[in-house]
Structure 1
Amino acid sequence: MRFGMGYASWTGGPGHGGRGGRHGGGPRGRVLGGDELKLVLLALIAEAPRHGYDLIRAVEARTGGAYAPSPGVVYPTLTLLTDMGLIEEQASEGTRKLFAVTEAGTTQLAQDAEQVGDLFARLTALGEHRARTDAGPIHRARANLRAALHHRLAGPEVDTDTLHAIAAILDEAAQKVERL
C-alpha cells in the first residue's frame, strides 16, 4: 500500500462515515440529534421521575438494545433541560440525581406531542429492525475473513498469482451475496 492510501478510512477523513466524517457520530450517523434527545428524555421523565442511568436504560429498552445514548450526551442534556426550567431535581435517596418534569416541561411536551410520538416510533422501529436483522454472524464471518486475509497476505510467499486467486474468490463471494 502506498503512503497515504486508506488515510480517510482510519482518521474519519473525507468520505468516511466515522467520527469526524461527514455523516457524524458513526457509520450510520446519529440516532438522535440534540433537540430530539432533549424531547425523548423530557418525555421519559414525564412518564415517571428518573435519574440519568435509568434514562439511558429506558432508551436502550425502547430500541431493543440497538441504541443507548452515552452518559457524555445524557448528563449535559439533563443539565440543559434543568437550565431551561423543563425539569427539576427531586430529593432522592442515594447519590443519583432524580429528575421530574416541571409545568413548563409538560407544556413543552404538549406543544411537541406529534414530534415526540414520531421519535418514539423511530426508536421502536430501530429495535424492530435490529430484531429482524441481527448481524452478529455476519460480523463474525467478516472478522474471520479479515484475519485470514491478513495472515495470508503478510507472508513472504505471496505472489501475483496468489493475489489474483484471492481477488477471484472475493469477487465470486460478492456475486453470490448480490444474488441472494
Structure 2
Amino acid sequence: MLDASDIRLLMLHFLAQSPAHGYELIKSVEELSKGEYSPSPGIIYPNLTLLEETDAISVVDAQASRKAYSLNKAGSEILAESSEQIASLIQRLSSMAVLVNNRNIPDVEKSIHNLRSALNLRLSQENISQASLDKVIAAMNEAAEKIASS
C-alpha cells in the first residue's frame, strides 16, 4: 500500500501537528483511511529509529516508558520539500475512507456478495472447460468496464 518513504512522510506530517508515540502514529494513519489501511509496528518503529538517527525527529522524554517523538528542524525541512507528495498520500488514504463508506451501502454490499458467491461457486467446480472459463473471464471484464465507465 505505502512504501517506507511514504510512511516516513506521513509520520513527519502527524508529528508536525503534535508529538506522538509510535502506536498513536499507527492509529492516525488508520483513522485517515477509516481502518482500510493500518501500518504494522514492523514498519513504524524502524522508520521512527531512522528518522531519529537522521535528526528529523527527537524523543520528547528519554526517561518515559513509552517514547513520544517530536519534529525537529530537519523534519520540518523534509515536510516543506515534500508537501505535494504528502498531499497526494493524504488524498490516497482519504479516498480509501470514501471507498469504505460506499462499499458499506447495503445494495453495494449485496451485489459484491452475490458476485463473489457466484464466482466462487463456479470456480470451485472441477474440470471447468476452457469455454466456461472464457465466459467467466469475459463477464468479469465486461462488468469491470461497465463499473469503471458508470
User: 1:44 maps to which residue?
Assistant: 14
Q: Deviations over 1:90-116 (max 9, x none)?
A: 127863211111122112212222222
**Could you say if the C-alpha distance between residues 148 and 112 of structure 1 is closer, same or farther in structure 2, counting changes exceeding 3 Å?**
closer
Q: With structure 1 as the length reference, what TM-score do the two structures score?
A: 0.61
> Partner amino acid for 1:142?
R
2:69 aligned counterpart, secondary structure: strand
Distance 1:114 1:171 in 2: 39
1:91 to 26, 43, 61: 61
Deviation at 1:118, TM superposition (A): 2.0
2:20 aligned counterpart, secondary structure: coil
User: 2:34 maps to which residue?
Assistant: 64
Q: Deviations over 1:100-157 (max 9, x none)?
A: 111221122122222222221221122212322348653686368647865x65xxxx
> Partner amino acid for 2:9?
L
Distance 2:142 2:97 in 1: 29
Instruction: Structure 2: state its 5+ residue gaps.
Output: none
Distance 1:55 1:89 in 2: 14
1:100 aligned counterpart, secondary structure: strand
**Could you say if the C-alpha distance between residues 144 and 57 of structure 1 is closer, same or farther in structure 2, counting changes exceeding 3 Å?**
farther
Identity level (%): 30
> Partner amino acid for 2:116?
R
Q: Which moved more, 1:112-121 or 1:35-44?
A: 112-121
**Could you say if the C-alpha distance between residues 174 and 110 of structure 1 is closer, same or farther in structure 2, counting changes exceeding 3 Å?**
closer
Distance 2:146 2:115 in 1: 18
* Runs of 4 or more consecutive aligned structure 1 residues displaced over 4 Å after TM superposition: 134-137, 147-150, 166-180
> Partner amino acid for 2:93?
L
**Could you say if the C-alpha distance between residues 136 and 55 of structure 1 is closer, same or farther in structure 2, counting changes exceeding 3 Å?**
farther
> Partner amino acid for 1:69?
P
1:102 to 56, 69, 72: 72
How many residue pairs match? The answer is 142
**Could you say if the C-alpha distance between residues 163 and 114 of structure 1 is closer, same or farther in structure 2, counting changes exceeding 3 Å?**
closer
> Partner amino acid for 1:107?
E
Deviation at 1:60, TM superposition (A): 0.7
Q: Which has the larger radius of gyration?
A: 1
> Partner amino acid for 2:31?
A
User: 1:21 maps to which residue?
Assistant: none
Deviation at 1:87, TM superposition (A): 0.5
User: 2:47 maps to which residue?
Assistant: 77
Whichever structure has more helix as a proportion of its residues is 2
**Could you say if the C-alpha distance between residues 73 and 144 of structure 1 is closer, same or farther in structure 2, counting changes exceeding 3 Å?**
farther
Instruction: Structure 1: state its 5+ residue gaps.
Output: 1-30
